[in-house]
């Protein structure tokens, strides 16, 4: 059985990263615009450090009639931001 004090120190077991850690996917070309910061959006992956999650952007893109409508409604998004795969 693991000591509870040690389990609380492990970010994978505690479910959150320490506040001083910022994760960036800059080394991965397809993910370089995604950031994870524990104090932002509950530590969920966000677009370029902004307070909009990757999940929300993909949901928006899934229901929007076209890209022009997305960029009109969300002008801070850029065409290089994550987008759903095309058929």
Instruction: Please state the rounded mean pLDDT for residues 7-31.
Output: 58
State pTM to two decimals.
0.61
Give the structural domain span for 42.
17-87
Q: Tell me whether residue 77 is exposed, middle or buried, using C-beta atoms within 10 angstroms of its C-beta: 0 to 12, 13 to 18, 19 or more.
A: buried
Distance (Å, rounded) from C-alpha 27 to C-alpha 42? 23
> Is there a domain that residue 53 lies in?
yes
* CATH code of the domain covering residue 35: 1.10.10.10
Confidence of residue 8 (pLDDT cuts 50, 70, 90): very low
> Is there a domain that residue 67 lies in?
yes
Q: How many structural domains compose the chain?
A: 1
């Amino acid at each position: 059985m693991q000591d509870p004090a040690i389990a609380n120190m492990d970010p994978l077991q505690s479910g959150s990263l320490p506040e001083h850690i910022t994760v960036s996917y800059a080394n991965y070309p397809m993910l370089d615009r995604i950031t994870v910061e524990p104090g932002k959006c509950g530590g969920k992956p966000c677009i370029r450090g902004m307070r909009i999650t990757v999940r929300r952007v993909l949901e928006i893109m899934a229901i929007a009639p076209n890209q022009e409508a997305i960029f009109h409604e969300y002008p801070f998004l850029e065409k290089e931001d994550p987008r759903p795969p095309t058929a």
